[in-house]
């Protein structure tokens, strides 16, 4: 277990808002974006980077918890001016999440954010991240998080850490 993993899981919830509009259109990887309040509430120990974990969208799938991969940061390739939390829910592709409550449990770290020389290189690495995250979430130690009370309790807009 890495030093970073000792600070996880980290739980966050909030309403999905319109993002930059490039996940689906440009990259083929739709993302659900948290409002800025949730992003600004991240503790300092959650560094910018790519993470994997679990997500729940009660409006779309009730109590079902899904695998997810999340990018946290400024996305250097696009030179974002504001930090974001962009969540790709692996088996809810094609659904519109805007205005829905999104609950996530971040359980593992994949890599730091980095810049890419081309959009094609970025897409390739994103797809590798998705495969790696899905594989890691098949491990028993991570599957147990699906049963955490966070996913049972109706939580509105906020976040907390629970080690």
Q: Are 134 and 119 in contact (CB under 8 A)?
A: no
Plot region of 76 (φ>0 → left; ψ -120 to 50 → alpha; else → beta):
alpha
User: Is 86 annotated as catalytic?
Assistant: yes
CA–CA dist 36, 34 (Å, integer): 6
Please pick, among 86, 121, 128, 147, the residue that the annotation labels catalytic: 86
- Sole residue written with tokens 């599957």: 143
Positions marked catalytic: 86
């Amino acid at each position: 277990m890495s030093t970073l993993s000792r600070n996880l899981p980290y739980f966050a919830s909030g309403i999905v808002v319109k993002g930059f509009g490039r996940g689906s259109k440009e990259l083929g990887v739709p993302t659900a974006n948290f409002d800025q309040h949730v992003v600004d509430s991240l503790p300092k120990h959650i560094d910018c980077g790519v993470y994997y974990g679990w997500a729940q969208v009660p409006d779309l799938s009730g109590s079902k918890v899904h695998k997810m991969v999340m990018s946290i940061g400024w996305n250097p390739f696009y030179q974002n001016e504001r930090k974001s939390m962009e969540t790709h829910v692996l088996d809810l592709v094609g659904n519109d999440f805007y205005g829905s409550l999104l609950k996530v449990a971040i359980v593992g770290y994949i890599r730091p954010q980095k810049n890419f020389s081309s959009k094609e290189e970025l897409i390739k690495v994103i797809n590798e991240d998705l495969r790696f995250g899905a594989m890691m979430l098949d491990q028993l130690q991570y599957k147990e998080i699906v049963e955490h009370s966070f996913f049972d309790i109706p939580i509105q807009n906020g976040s907390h850490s629970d080690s």
